[in-house]
Chains A and B, each alone.
Chain A
């Protein structure tokens, strides 16, 4: 069965600093990978996705992520964080389970941005 691990529960960065959120997945085949963001009191919003091809994918709000098959990772990055980026970030893997397709989410990383 597929799984996603986000090893950092909580990260604090200063505004303007760079950001990297870690994500490791477990899946037997080529995965479909996603990053979603959840602002307080809101639903999740898709930031970016990887299906195939170029391993560096660009998303909304200046985010990017790199798929590294050898490391089973799909880390999210942003060169300069803004205060409005404070939110919870979820990595997810999309896979067929044998009976249905589903997204499996990690436990999330809460990002705090200090001014």
Chain B
């Protein structure tokens, strides 16, 4: 059973950089598929952020592209998200997921709440 687990700080100060890592087990991320990040502000809907293919091609939500970087670490079977210049609007539960392509995410992490506050 493929499992994903998000990790990273739960509290980030405004204007700083949010950094999250997703550790994948029972599947090698270099073997195939895409790997993505989705977030959900408290009480609101899902927002796709970015994804990266197993070969390293990246895709970003246009309105976030200037602030987001997604990357792979195949040696650790992890992928990561960096979001710069955060504001309170970036407060959300952040999920990592395996994307079969076209936004079809079949395995999800449990999600991690990141709060942006001073």
A joins B in a complex: no
Which A residues fall within an 8 A CB radius of B?
A: none
